[in-house]
Amino acid sequence: MDTPLSVIILAAGKGTRMQSAKPKVLQTLAGKPLLSHVLDTCQTINVDSTIVVYGFGGEHVQKAMSAYELTWVAQTEQLGTGHAVKVALDKLPKDGQSLILYGDVPLVSADTLAALQAANTHGMSMLTLRVDDPFGLGRIKRDKAGNIEAIVEQKDADEAEQQITEINSGIYCVDNALLHKYLPKLSNNNAQGEYYLTDIVKMAVADGIAIAAIEPEHAFEIEGVNNRQQLASLERSWQGKLIHDLQVAGVQFADPTRVDIRGSVSAGQDVFVDVNVVFEGDCILGDNVYIEAGNVIKHARIGNACHIKPHCVIDHANIGAGVDIGPFAHLRPDTVLSDNSKVGNFVEIKKSTLGTGSKVNHLSYIGDATIGAEVNVGAGVITCNYDGVNKSQTVIKDKAFIGSNASLVAPVNIGDTATVAAGSVITKDVDDNALAFGRARQTQKDNFQRPSKKNT
Ligand code: UD1
Ligand code: CA
């Protein structure tokens, strides 16, 4: 007997103080637009429909959010939070309840929203918090028995009300029937001449409705973004939480303030992460992974006991156990490194598989290649995978040895236990166990006289 749950997200604010050409809700936190944070959180609780109230830059916001199933409502003039919800009423079901959220308050958690919904047993629940500095925010007025009576905005508050430290987050769960009943009755007869959503609290109290209030687990969950400083500080709060969770799970950070996670990281035991490492997308680390300074790791799975030396870029790669990478390696999308393989300095790998125990240790480009087990790829080897129009495949079978500075012109196959001489340009397949030379023969002139400067 779940009542249907709607979400109304207010996102019409222009965000003037960001000094940006971008609508505020498209500014990014942890690499993701503010509004996407809210929408992703809503996807983890059972939301039946989501309405976004938009204003400034609406077409950009809609385009950026096209992956979500949303109902868009325009608020052409920003006449206040109450007005913003009122314009959404047409699209709001008569039954059920609604979470009212903000596109620029990105970090409210699914647990908090679930608790807020559970607390709405009489028609209305809200998220409040006691803070040290309540200036600028709506204050929660309670009667002597502690019941909520009203919300008073900063600009409307008298001396006594200004002393109240319990503030309104602006996030509520309200029965739709009450929203349909109260919103048309809002007036803008207040210090700011705005339609205050907060006035529905007074109306509910007058109807004898007991208003529930809960607090979020973390203060940052209700913090909004109005300027660059707030965005940066909220980013730090979020990073602090992600790092803390990983520390609890057994990850050692050399300095927890010098790592950023723009996405998610899951990690096994005894993982070490040195300074200035950035994770993006979803990253999965096994046990005993050792990551040195300055790495950028994006959408990667890294197996047990891998060692990532300094300054590598690892992007959409799948890495087995016991693999050594770097320093200065670039693993591009669809790189697969099997167990105990090694990729050394100044090596770029793209769309290629390196078999178990194989090594590409120095200065190579490996693209569109399938390399077997126990292969040694010498220094400076290049797979010439591109003829200017098409990409072609290079296949290197188990235990092959590719001498330094060889160019393997794809499509080409190098056989099992084959050897390619250093400096070769290989344009034809090499058979199993064969030795292939593809280079000019060395000639020699004995007793060669070097030219000498003429005396003038
Ligand atoms: C509101 C609350 C206040 C609370 C504070 C928390 C009211 C009257 N006051 O303050 O009690 O402490 O949030 O941050 O509700 N928006 C629209 N259309 C509008 C007006 C606002 O979409 O016409 C959106 C803004 O983009 C923003 C959110 O609503 O995301 C809150 O607006 P803002 O002006 O920051 O809040 P206040 O009204 O000052
Ligand atoms: Ca305002």
d(CA 116, CA 441): 80
Residue 304 has pLDDT above 80, yes or no: yes
Query: Which residue owns the Cα nearest ligand 1 atom 25?
Result: 13
Query: For position 14, what pLDDT does the model report?
Result: 82
Mean pLDDT of the chain: 97
Residue 348 has pLDDT above 60, yes or no: yes
Query: For position 2, what pLDDT does the model report?
Result: 75
Binning pLDDT at 50, 70 and 90, where does residue 344 land? very high
Q: What's the pTM?
A: 0.94
Contacts of 139 (CB under 8 A, 6+ apart): 151, 152, 154, 157, 161, 162, 164, 166, 167, 168
Q: What is the mean pLDDT of residues 439-446?
A: 95
Query: For position 456, what pLDDT does the model report?
Result: 72
Contact 148, 141 (CB under 8 A): yes
Residue 233 has pLDDT above 70, yes or no: yes
User: Of all atoms in ligand 1, which is nearest to the CA of residue 12?
Assistant: 22
Query: For position 3, what pLDDT does the model report?
Result: 87
Which has more pLDDT, 100 or 455? Answer: 100
In this predicted model, what pLDDT tens digit does every residue of 59-71 receive, in sequence order?
999 999 999 999 9
The reply to whether ligand 1 has any atom less than 6 angstroms from the CB of 168 is yes
Residue 430 has pLDDT above 80, yes or no: yes
Q: What is the mean pLDDT of residues 351-373?
A: 98
Contact 17, 226 (CB under 8 A): yes
The reply to whether ligand 1 has any atom less than 6 angstroms from the CB of 57 is no
In this predicted model, what pLDDT tens digit does every residue of 14-38 receive, in sequence order?
889 999 999 999 999 999 999 999 9
Pull the structure tokens for residue 308. Answer: 């990532």
Percent of the chain with pLDDT over 90: 97
In this predicted model, what pLDDT tens digit does every residue of 190-212 receive, in sequence order?
999 999 999 999 999 999 999 99
Query: For position 183, what pLDDT does the model report?
Result: 98
* Exposure string over 429-440, b if 16+ CB within 10 A, otherwise e: ebeeeeebebee
In this predicted model, what pLDDT tens digit does every residue of 35-53 receive, in sequence order?
999 999 999 999 999 999 9
Q: Determine the distance separating the centroid of ligand 2 and the alpha carbon of 13, expressed in angstroms.
A: 9
Q: What is the mean pLDDT of residues 362-388?
A: 98
28 pairs with which residues across the strands? 33
- Is the bond leading into 333 cis (omega within 30 degrees of zero)? no
Residue 282 has pLDDT above 70, yes or no: yes
User: Of all atoms in ligand 1, which is nearest to the CA of residue 196?
Assistant: 8
- Smallest Cα–Cα separation from 107: which of 231, 227, 23, 7? 231
d(CA 120, CA 58): 32
In this predicted model, what pLDDT tens digit does every residue of 157-170 receive, in sequence order?
999 999 999 999 99
Contact 398, 374 (CB under 8 A): yes
In this predicted model, what pLDDT tens digit does every residue of 378-399 receive, in sequence order?
999 999 999 999 999 999 999 9
Residue 13 has pLDDT above 90, yes or no: no
User: Of all atoms in ligand 1, which is nearest to the CA of residue 10?
Assistant: 22
Query: For position 57, what pLDDT does the model report?
Result: 84
The reply to whether ligand 1 has any atom less than 6 angstroms from the CB of 405 is no
Torsional sign, CA 9, 10, 14, 16: negative
Q: What is the mean pLDDT of residues 345-362?
A: 98
Cα distances from 433 to residues 42, 97, 161, 303, 355, in angstroms, run 60, 73, 88, 32, 18
Residue 353 has pLDDT above 90, yes or no: yes
Pull the structure tokens for residue 451. Answer: 């030219």
Residue 134 has pLDDT above 60, yes or no: yes
In this predicted model, what pLDDT tens digit does every residue of 209-228 receive, in sequence order?
999 999 999 999 999 999 99
Q: Determine the distance separating the centroid of ligand 2 and the alpha carbon of 78, expressed in angstroms.
A: 9
Catalytic residues: 362
